[in-house]
Structure 1
Amino acid sequence: MILKTRRQFINVMAVASVALAAPSILYAQDTPWAEVGYDRILVANTNGDRLAVRFRTGQRYDASNLQRLNWLWRDWRDGGAQRQIDPLLFGDLALIQTRMSLDFGEPKLILINSGFRTAGRNATIEGAARNSQHVQGRACDFNMVGVSPALVVGYAESYGVHGLGQYSDFTHIDVGPPNRRWTG
């Protein structure tokens, strides 16, 4: 293609710059990774199970993928017992994960140490609340792989999660009553 005028050159360059910038424009609202985003989550548990799922499209939750996440959150230490997990928890985790992934420039895996707990197993955990949010399917203890729990707590605090516990080797968040903070 031969450009005969300066105006043709400028027009071609303008179109080319928009075409090259298109991926950046698209990713400004989302992450550049298929597994991480405000509506999806990349998560594993300490039993070795791993999922990357989109749990929500717009305002609608994907029932099938919520079931898959419920399975991952199961109490595999107590016979694999499951219950429905409050989907707001997945939203909070996805928000933290997405922001951290963007800031670090790489997808960050959430590693669940404790999701749903049966009442029986919860009773065996030293310091666990009798009416724990874990038993109600509204909490998780987790690590963001490669990130200190103190930094994870800072991100979670900035988004106003309801329950936030900082421990030396993991972070607790839950969607129970708001404005609860503690260290353990």
Structure 2
Amino acid sequence: MLAAAVGTATAAVLLGGCAGDGAGTAERSAAAAMRRRAADGAAALLERYDATGRAHPALAAGLAPLRAQTAQHVEAFGGVPAAPPPALSAGSAPASQDPSAPAGASSPAGASAEPGPAAAVPGDRGEALRALASAASRQSDAFLADLTEAPGDLARLLASVAAACAAHATLLPELTA
């Protein structure tokens, strides 16, 4: 219920429009860089959701709404979110995943070869959820760090998405399969 309320607040900020603030070219450039950074951070969190869902398919149903909200955050900042992996869209493990492989060992098609924040998902479901919650909390803090330098519309969006990430951090440890 909390996640739905935060999602509604995020949507309200997104639909509220972006009023021009008369910022100069340098300020617009700084805001654009801030948006890219925020989109990258949200995309990294989305990657962690996907990795956790692949490693623990039994959690897929519980992760799906929070993952979908995180994909909306990527879009809100101008990024393009990855499509959900089969484990998070159909509630089952991907057919190509070897169940004997260590968690996080498989890589989806089109995934970056660089080791990312989702490189290792704990094998224990509770630990995996706590690790994902910690990542959501860190991302919330990162969004909040940019608030003082962001122009009004971007600051409101950062605040809203930071609140959503904080809500995710609270909800994730309580998920059950």
Bucket of the pairwise TM-score, normalised by the shorter protein = under 0.3
The structure carrying a bigger helix percent of its residues is 2
Question: With CA pairs under 8 Å and 6+ residues apart, which has the higher RCO, 1 or 2?
Answer: 2
The structure with the larger Rg is 1
TM-score by length of 2: 0.28
TM-score by length of 1: 0.27
